[in-house]
Chains A and B, each alone.
Chain A
């Protein structure tokens, strides 16, 4: 058994179009390193040059946000389901429109 990782549409260029990929590791950092060996470039989209989780990336272990589980040190194990999502919360359209109206974009 492995760890199942769900990839959002905008990152599937790194997984050859695959929605779900598999990986291994004891922590989220190890899992992402492992994924990057087969899906080169993925790590760079999830983690900043400073080594933190990208501000607009949310990662969930069994539907729970890793930022509240130790972030990149969060424990993972075989059988876990990991979901990667862009941060848009209540819907990208409203937020984007709101930001544009404030002149932020």
Chain B
């Protein structure tokens, strides 16, 4: 379908494209091992977060948590804020985003264009400063509504009801699903759906491993696991460093012509690992992975050019996924 009543109706239904050049070669006579990319940058605001934003707002409207003219407050490092800003604009809400100041300049510019207001928490102050900032805002504005993507079941449900069914429809022979782990919504929702429908499916998480600066915790007890996370949905979980993420992001555009953000590189790194394992084991594999967004918002990092060392340095201390 190519005609929609409004932009909100154009959310989801993204293409799944094969990667014939990046898929590993198999010995003659061996079963095929194929990689497939789900292009989530083809959503209304250019990221997979449109699905979650739309479902969270709809759910809040239906339950009465959100009423016309309300202010939505959301801590976000970018894409969710942009998606919510679009949904909020079209549905008649004001949006205030709390975000760390070490996200890319493009993200804040886009948010402001959509009419969102931004409150920065200082990167240098670490989590303590972010907590202090957030507490202060919440205390000053008790009437502002939070959707809280890390614990909102509608986030995972968006993927259970849309991303999962789309993948199964387009690739009934799917054997592996690989996606990035942040709020965990994509993996929990899509993973649960595919586990119910496909025997033996592997659900694989790729988690970005940031530079030391980002782990600004005072001690282990300040860690955080999103409320949505249920480890039993996953089969495996990989940690992918900045260097590997950049390398794979560049490889994807060089070999297959797909211009993606760096979180895609982390996901592709894990997808290639399981694809090559399947080749070694002589197993058939259809590995579908998520491209959460395109690279436009990250150009100012400078990490698409220069050597890998320079790119790694450019992304040090940034939330690149």
Contacts and interface: CB of A to CB of B under 8 A. Distances in A.
Contacts of B135: 100-101, 105
A20 interface: no
A81 to B, nearest CB: 11
A56 B216 contact: no
A85 B220 contact: no
B245 to A, nearest CB: 12
B285 interface: no
Interface stretch (B83-91, B157-165, B224-232): B224-232
A89 B182 contact: yes
A1 interface: no
A51 B319 CA distance: 33
Contacts of A102: 146, 148, 151
12 contacts: A56-B225, A65-B239, A67-B237, A91-B319, A92-B215, A92-B216, A93-B121, A95-B150, A96-B134, A97-B134, A98-B149, A100-B134
Contacts of A105: 131, 135
Contacts of B217: 10, 86, 88, 92
A88 B220 contact: no
A96 to B, nearest CB: 4
Contacts of A101: 73, 75, 98, 134-135, 137-138, 146, 148
A63 B238 contact: yes
Given A65-B236, A92-B224, A97-B121, A9 B215 contact: yes
Contacts of B207: 65, 89
A10 B219 CA distance: 6
A97 B151 CA distance: 13
A93 B123 contact: yes
Contacts of A45: 220
Interface residues of B, number: 59
B77 interface: yes
A45 B218 CA distance: 13
Interface in A38-63: 45, 54-58, 60, 63
Interface in B68-96: 73, 75-77
Interface string A69-105: 0000000000000010111111111111111111101
Nearest to B209: A85
Contacts of B234: 68
Interface residues of A, number: 37
Contacts of A10: 215, 217-220
Given A11-B220, A56-B225, A90-B182, A97 B130 contact: yes
- Residue among A57, A83, A85, A89 with max Cβ neighbours from chain B (10 Å): A89
Contacts of A103: 138
B208 interface: yes
B239 A97 contact: no
B239 A83 contact: yes
A1 B135 CA distance: 49
A100 B130 contact: yes
Contacts of A99: 131, 224
B109 interface: no
Contacts of B225: 55-56, 87, 89
Contacts of B5: none
Nearest to B123: A93
B44 interface: no
A65 B114 CA distance: 38
Nearest to B119: A97
A8 interface: yes
Contacts of B294: none
A60 B131 contact: no
B214 interface: yes
A64 interface: yes
A98 B223 contact: no
